[in-house]
Structure 1
Amino acid sequence: MKTIIPAVLLSLAIAPAIASAQEKTGELAALGISAGMPYAKAKRLLDAAGWQVSPPESGQAALPGFPEIECGQGRDAICSAGFHRNGQSLAMIIGTTQAGQPFVQGTY
């Protein structure tokens, strides 16, 4: 009984975050945005739907032509780009092809 109560409280605490993530994932899918697609196309689709690019926190552009993409440093660093609309935010994990072109790896 003692372990059930914390588990229930935890599930109630994270349920809104899960619902919000599922809602955003559904909206992205409705826009035609999916993992593996070129980032430039995803960016155009988001822009058309009213999402605005969020500037990178570091202020340093990581990829030429895409000043909003920010990359961490080190062996397992990832690149990401953020967007916002009406008080909501979303971020994309960005990969690059061997030719250096960015593509969507996932969202969070």
Structure 2
Amino acid sequence: MASATTSKEATSHNIKSKSKTLGDSLNRKLLGIWAAEGSENASFEITKDAFYYPEHSASYTYAILGDSLRIKYDDFDGNFSFKLRGDDILVISGDDGEHLFKRMN
């Protein structure tokens, strides 16, 4: 019986590890400077720890869970869904619709 419990624990650990690895990989793909479609200026930069908006010189922490993005602004939490198209197009959707951003080099 003990081996069954150990096996379940190992399987649970493996699933969590794979999920964390997939999440970490996606997080790395999101890192960088992004400009709104049609703009030559940076809209925001995603770092390991924050969303940085250069126009306002402001940084906000964020969390990613699956395809959901939560940015903790000063007065509220912004909740968005997102997807990557290839490596250089980021689509963020929220209450105000869908917005495309291109990675800046």
Same fold per superposition (TM over 0.5): no
User: Taking structure 1 as the reference length, what is the TM-score of the superposition?
Assistant: 0.35
More strand by share: 2
Q: Could you say which structure has the larger radius of gyration?
A: 2
Per residue, is there more helix in 1 or in 2? 1
